[in-house]
Structure 1
Amino acid sequence: MLLINKLLSAVFELLIFSLLPACWWLITARKQISFEQWIGFKAIPKEKRAKVWGWASLTSLGLLLLSIVLLKNVGTAHTAVSDFTNQGWRVLPAILVYAVLGTSLPEELLFRGFLLKRLAARFGFAIGNLIQALLFGLLHSVMFINQLGLLSALGIGWFTLLVAWLMGFINEKPAAGSIYPSWMIHALANFLTGLSVAFGLL
Structure 2
Amino acid sequence: MTVSMMVSSLIQLILFSFIPLVCWLIFARKKQSFWSWIGLKAPEIKKKNLFFILFFSGLLLFLSLGWVIMLFFTNGSDVAASQFDGVGVAGIAAALFYAFVQTGLSEEIVFRGFIGKRLISAVGFTAGNSVQAALFGCLHGAMFFSHAGCLNALIITLFTAVIGWFMGYINEKLAGGSIVPSWIMHGLANLFTAMMMMFNLF
Aligned twin of 1:113: 113
Letter in 2 for 1:41: L
1:50-75 deviations in Å (ceiling 9; x for gaps):
43233222222222234323432433
1:90-134 deviations in Å (ceiling 9; x for gaps):
111111111111111110000000111100111011110011011
Aligned twin of 2:41: 42
Deviant stretches of 4+, over 6 Å: none
- Aligned to 2:177, the other structure's residue is in SS state coil
Q: For 1:43 and 1:199, locate their aligned partners in 2 and report how far apart those are by CA, in whole Å.
A: 34
1:102 paired with 2:106, answer no
Deviation at 1:188, TM superposition (A): 0.5
Deviation at 1:46, TM superposition (A): 4.5
1:142-191 deviations in Å (ceiling 9; x for gaps):
11111111111001100111000000000000111000010011000011
Percent identity reads 41
Q: For 1:77 and 1:11, locate their aligned partners in 2 and report how far apart those are by CA, in whole Å.
A: 24
TM-score by length of 1: 0.94
Q: What does residue range 124-135 of structure 1 map to in structure 2 within 5 Å?
A: 124-135=124-135
Q: For 1:71 and 1:124, locate their aligned partners in 2 and report how far apart those are by CA, in whole Å.
A: 34
Aligned twin of 2:155: 155
Q: For 1:110 and 1:92, locate their aligned partners in 2 and report how far apart those are by CA, in whole Å.
A: 26
Q: What does residue range 48-63 of structure 1 map to in structure 2 within 5 Å?
A: 48-63=47-62
Identify the range of structure 1 (62-71 vs 176-185) with the bigger mean alpha-carbon deviation.
62-71
Aligned twin of 1:191: 191
Letter in 2 for 1:67: G
1:49, 1:175 within 8 Å by CA — same for their partners in 2? no
Alignment RMSD: 1.4
Aligned twin of 1:80: 80
Q: For 1:3 and 1:70, locate their aligned partners in 2 and report how far apart those are by CA, in whole Å.
A: 28
Identify the range of structure 1 (46-55 vs 136-145) with the bigger mean alpha-carbon deviation.
46-55
1:61, 1:189 within 8 Å by CA — same for their partners in 2? no
2:170, 2:182 within 8 Å by CA — same for their partners in 1? yes
1:144 paired with 2:149, answer no
- Aligned to 2:143, the other structure's residue is in SS state helix
Matched length? 201
Letter in 1 for 2:179: I
1:174 paired with 2:174, answer yes
Identify the range of structure 1 (170-179 vs 68-77) with the bigger mean alpha-carbon deviation.
68-77
Q: Give unpaired runs (5+ residues) of structure 2.
A: none
TM-score by length of 2: 0.94
Deviation at 1:23, TM superposition (A): 0.5
